[in-house]
Amino acid sequence: MKNIVMVTGGRNMGRASVIAHREKHIGDFDIVHVKDSLDRTFATRLSNIFVIGEGTKPCISLPKGKVTKLTIAEERNVRRAAEASA
């Protein structure tokens, strides 16, 4: 169950994460809880994920740092650091 997945739809599109657990809802969407490399957990529909590797090793190459989603405060700090160095 701990496979690495890429989120292909919804608000978390583009994130690569590891499946934590799956909730089955009869007559409704199945929900998958996933954890990213920064130990942040989020939930998405089962139809929004695509398995890209077994365990925590992806079968495809992933871009560095592009598959984790930063918080608003972290994005602000990155922008400010870039402006200060320019």
DSSP states of 35-71 as a string? E-TTS-EEEEEGGGEEEEEETTEESS---TTTSSPPP
CATH value at residue 41: 2.30.30.30
What pLDDT was estimated at residue 21? 94
What is the domain extent for residue 46? Answer: 4-85
The band of 1, judged by pLDDT with boundaries at 50, 70 and 90, is low
Write out pLDDT tens, residues 14-41. 899 999 999 999 999 999 999 988 889 9
* 34 strand-pairing partners: 19, 42
Query: What is the average per-residue pLDDT within 1-8?
Result: 89
Q: Whole-model pTM?
A: 0.78
Q: Within 10 Å of residue 84's Cβ, how many Cβ atoms?
A: 7
Q: For the chain, how many structural domains are there in total? A: 1
